[in-house]
Amino acid sequence: MDLPVNVSAADKVKPQKFDYLLILDLEGKVEILEFPVMMIDAQSMEFIDSFHRFVRPTAMNEQRLREYIEGKYGKFGVDRGNWDLKTKVPEQCKVSKIKLPTYFMEWINVKDIYLNFYRRRATGMMTMMRELQMPIVGSHHLGIDDSKNIARVVQRMLAEGAVMQITAKRQSSTGDVNFLFKDRIR
């Protein structure tokens, strides 16, 4: 698999704090059903590797089935900008009876970086791609394709001079989340 880098704006590239960026876009309404990850080199912007698994739900009882039917993200009011790592991963760890891994204690929300870099609000991948005039690859809401498209957006932002930085940190595995950007997607 290849995510070609557009080097036309490469003269704007800024040094990054990270060597690699892992881009994920989880799919699942009640439980995580798809876990796709794209890895790109933060300096060269090149695709390095990917990971993709469909996940068998473990706790799909009658109540959880009703929650699933209510809507993809459950009740209204969920912080959609950080849903994957703020909300869904800790919930899935609880359902799966595993401790939240430490590498899920901080993350970069691409939408927050996009807002602060371009000074334009983007509610999701499709908005970012439309504004950047980038064609979508694959099928929207298929996690691996969405992750590829988000990785392409990140590559473009890096090429245009964006600096990737942590946008949120969790205090403890059950604690509150501190959002580090004043201007962020809510």
Encode pLDDT of 134-178 as tens digits: 999 998 888 999 999 999 999 999 999 999 999 999 987 557 899
pLDDT grade, residue 89 (50/70/90)?
Answer: very high
Report the half-sphere exposure of 116 (CA within 13 A, side-chain side). Answer: 18
Catalytic residue status for 27? yes
Q: Which of 44, 55, 33, 57 is nearest to 155 (CA)?
A: 44
Catalytic residue status for 52? no
The fold adopted by the segment(s) 7-179 is Nucleotidyltransferase; domain 5 (3.30.420)
- In DSSP terms, 49 is beta-bridged to 39
Q: Which of 155, 170, 167, 156 is nearest to 47 (CA)?
A: 155
Q: CB–CB of 165/113 below 8 Å?
A: yes
- Active-site residue, from 52, 70, 140, 141: 141
What does pTM read for this prediction? Answer: 0.85
